[in-house]
Structure 1
Amino acid sequence: MQVKVKKLHKDAILPVYATAGAACFDLHALEDGEVGACSRGVARTGLSFEVPAGHVMLVYSRSGHGFKHGVRLANSVGVIDSDYRGEVSIGLRNDSPLRFDYKAGDRLAQAMILPVPMVELVEVEELSDTERGTGGFGSTGK
């Protein structure tokens, strides 16, 4: 599958897969920046994507940022719909007591493109029974 990527700034870095077995491609910071201690910020990528119809681009934190720096995506998972053509930005949340600095070109997030079935939602009076039923949080055990 080919996905069209548009550079909105000459210094934007086109994403690539870091290894042959990588599930996601990396998204890079366009500019230097920082996220203050116990704060949040937004980093530009300088890129827009033409996600194919029937697909979605999901943006995730990089595991090293969470484990080493306490930094994650501000919205947990970014959802880029197939009809969005604006710049993809990376919202970061710094949960640590230390400022998080990044440089232009640093890998700040990772993304994948997946198919998304469009479903028909049908209102009903009853749902089928299951063993779990209405058991919520923690109801299936440890």
Structure 2
Amino acid sequence: MSFNVQIKKVSTEIEFDLPKKMTTLASGYDLIAAIESPLTIQPGERILVPSGIAISMSNNLEAQVRPRSGLAFKYGITVLNSPGTIDADYRGEIKVLLINHSKEEFIIQPMDRIAQLVFQVIPDVQLIQVNELTVTERGAGGFGHTGINE
């Protein structure tokens, strides 16, 4: 299954390449920090970083902004609302909401890879109101219901 996604550079401040996959089988396209000068994220601070791009995709797709595992593991930098959802009807610049979970400040340099964009197919779902739901063994058991060490 293949989909066409239109992409537009909206940042005119810096020159940069379009997002790309770093390996053939990678699922995500790396997003860069489309900034002119470094940004510092203090411990516990969150910051909105522009990616320099906007997209147009078919109605049955969504784009998810996800963290880069290396940034999370090495520096405690992650996407706060992970995954961030880009809806099919959004045409503005994609921005990445980063948070610094470490105890050290972190400096984002212009063109640093800061997140990845993963596309997902969205099924057409019809919600049907009912008075009762089907019964299952689990029932309404929620967080931790199935046990940690079982």
1:106 positional shift: 0.7
Matched-pair contact (CA < 8 Å) for 1:13–1:105: no
TM-score (norm 2): 0.90
Does residue 70 of the first structure (1) align with residue 72 of the second (2)? no
Instruction: Name which of 127, 130, 137 aligns with 1:131.
Output: 137
Deviation at residue 7 of structure 1 after TM alignment: 0.3
Alignment of 1:43-54 (within 5 A): 43-54=49-60
Contact 2:47 2:99 in 1 (8 A): yes
Residue 13, structure 1, aligned to residue 14, structure 2: no
Q: Which runs of 5+ in 2 are unaligned?
A: none
* Aligned counterpart, 2:40: 34
8 Å Cα contact 2:4/2:57 also seen in 1? no
- Aligned pair in 2 of structure 1 residues 64, 35: CA closer, same or farther (>3 Å)? same
Report the TM-score when normalising by structure 1: 0.95
Distance in 1, Cα, partners of 2:133 & 2:16: 49
Residue aligning to 2:123: 117
Partner residue of 2:5?
3
1:91 aligns with 2:97: yes
Deviation at 1:141, TM superposition (A): 2.3
CA offsets 1:94-140 (integer angstroms, 9 cap, x no match):
01111111111110000111110121111110000001011111112
Name stretches of at least 5 consecutive residues in structure 1 with no aligned partner: none
**Aligned partners of 1:100 and 1:132: how far apart in 2?**
44
CA distance in 2 between partners of 1:12 and 1:46 (Å): 9
CA contact (8 A) 1:66 1:72 kept: yes
Letter in 2 for 1:2: N
Greater mean deviation of Cα atoms: 82-91 or 7-16? 7-16
Q: Compute the RMSD of aligned alpha carbons.
A: 1.1
Q: 1: distance between equivalents of 2:6 and 2:82?
A: 25
Q: How many residues align?
A: 142
Q: Please tell me whether the aligned partners of residues 13 and 30 of structure 1 are also in contact (alpha carbons under 8 angstroms).
A: no
